[in-house]
Structure formats: structure tokens, C-alpha cells
Amino acid sequence: MSDTADQQLQQLAYKTERAAAARLAARQQLAPAQALKQVLTLAAGQAGLAHLVAERQAQQQRSALRAQARSAAMAQRKAQRQVEPAAIATPDTQTGAAPPQPWQGWFDGSAVPNPGRMGIGALLCGPQGQTIEISQPAGYGNSSEAEYSALTALLQAAVQAGVTKLAIRGDSQVVVNDVNLTPQAIAAGQGAAVLAAHRQEVCALMAQIGQVELRWLPRHRNAAADQLAQQALKLKPPAP
């Protein structure tokens, strides 16, 4: 297969499929692209790999259209709020000032193979239409380290932007659950010890922001951050 075809399969594969391909490549000493093709061919079944590729591409197009529709709806709501300022927020009863509106953030990280080269992606959106995109290589590590690196980069961007209220979504249950552990649970040893340093850095950044909500969402609803992470894997790492 050509490099372009290999990259196309990499972009269309799900995380579980990329992980399965990494295990297959290590077990049978195959090239990563060859292992991924075998995994996707098996997933395609009798329909064939070409049918799977076409179906996945159609899914991505539908996702892009839905994202455009959501953006248009958000723009419409924003316009309505500007027409009706009173609907933006209820003023504080003591100071008369409207409370700050939350920023929205999404993050995703990938490691190819796993462990392997890491790419991170994040999207930070402000209530006034501000948009900050992050897409960059992140060295070498496993998928959980990549996810944590993406979350860290998102929080660093939020701190630099002066964000004080932030709602974050990510599709890594490992990272979301690890960050949301209570101090009592961490003291009881429930956290992932190998990720402790990442958790501490993330919690310190969240404390700088103030009000932060971190929740999990399914991968198919995290397409923008996933795409940024996949783009980062194509970039050359910075020279040492």
C-alpha cells in the first residue's frame, strides 16, 4: 500500500483497532501498516476492506456535517443572546455583575503504536466565539500518557487565556476517572501510580483556573479533538 493509503487507514481506524494492530505487529513482527490492514480487513468481513473504507469515510462526512450544524446552531444562539442581553446571565444579587460564562474544552491523545509516538489534540472554545486549537507531537509514551498530555496542554492554554470557568470533555475513561478521584480515594491507593505525576500537574492547573468540570464522552462525540490528535501524528517532532 502507498503511504497515502496507509495514512487513510490510520485515520479511519478506531482506537481499539489501532491498539489491536499494535499488538498484532508486536506479536507477529509485522509492519504497523500491514498489521492495521489485517485488522481492518477482518473487521470488514465479507463486505471487503474497500467497503469498510467507503463506509468510514461516509461516517466522517456525516460527523463533519453534524459538527457544522452544531456550529451554526451555536452561532444562532449567540446572535440571539446578543439581541437579548438579559438572557445571557442572571446578575449577582450583591454586585450586579453577570457571572462568567464557562469555556468549553475537548481533548484527545493517541500513541502509535501503543506505546509509541504520541500525538495530542485539543480544542478550547470561549463564550464569545474564541477558538484555540492544539495539535502537536508529544514525544514517546502510551495512550494514557498521550491523553494526559493532551489534557495538560488544554489546561495550560486555558490558564494563558485567563479562563476561570471551564467544562472539559474527553473520551479516555482512564484519565477522566483518575483526575476525578477524591483525595480520600487517592490516599487509599485507588489512583494509577504510574500516572500520579500527570494527575498532580493537571490538578495544579485546574486549581489555577478555579471552576473546572471534567467529564467523559464517547469517542464518536469527540471527533474534533481526535482529528487534531491524528494530524499531530503526521507532524515531525521538534528538533532536540
Proportion of the chain above pLDDT 90, given as a percent: 54
Give the model's confidence band at 164: pLDDT under 50 very low, under 70 low, under 90 confident, else very high: very high
Between 159 and 67, where is the model more confident?
A: 159
Between 177 and 191, where is the model more confident?
A: 177
Averaged pLDDT for residues 11-21: 88
181-215 residue pLDDT tens: 998 998 888 888 899 999 999 999 999 999 999 99
- Residue 132's pLDDT is what? 96
116 DSSP 8-state letter:
E
Checking if the pLDDT of 29 tops 80, the result is yes
Proportion of the chain above pLDDT 70, given as a percent: 84
- Residue 67's pLDDT is what? 74
51-106 residue pLDDT tens: 888 888 888 877 777 776 676 556 555 544 543 333 334 455 555 566 678 999 99
- Residue 197's pLDDT is what? 95
134-154 residue pLDDT tens: 999 999 999 999 999 999 999
Main-chain dihedrals φ then ψ at residue 99, nearest 5 degrees:
-65, 150
Q: Of all helices (H) and strands (E), which one includes residue 110?
A: strand 103-112
Q: Rounded CA gap, 33 and 198, in Å?
A: 30
- Residue 83's pLDDT is what? 39
CA count, 13 A, side-chain hemisphere, 228: 23
- Residue 151's pLDDT is what? 98
Q: In 3D, which of 129, 132, 124, 131 has the Cα closest to residue 78?
A: 129
Domains identified in the chain and CATH numbers = 1-87 (no CATH), 99-234 (3.30.420.10)
Checking if the pLDDT of 228 tops 90, the result is yes
- Residue 225: all three cell numbers together: 479533538
Averaged pLDDT for residues 8-27: 88
Between 216 and 97, where is the model more confident?
A: 216
Cα dist. 100→81, 83, 92, 179 in Å?
14, 18, 11, 24
Q: Look over the chain and give the mean of its residue pLDDT values, rounded to a whole number.
A: 86
Between 186 and 168, where is the model more confident?
A: 168
- Residue 56's pLDDT is what? 85
Between 98 and 11, where is the model more confident?
A: 11
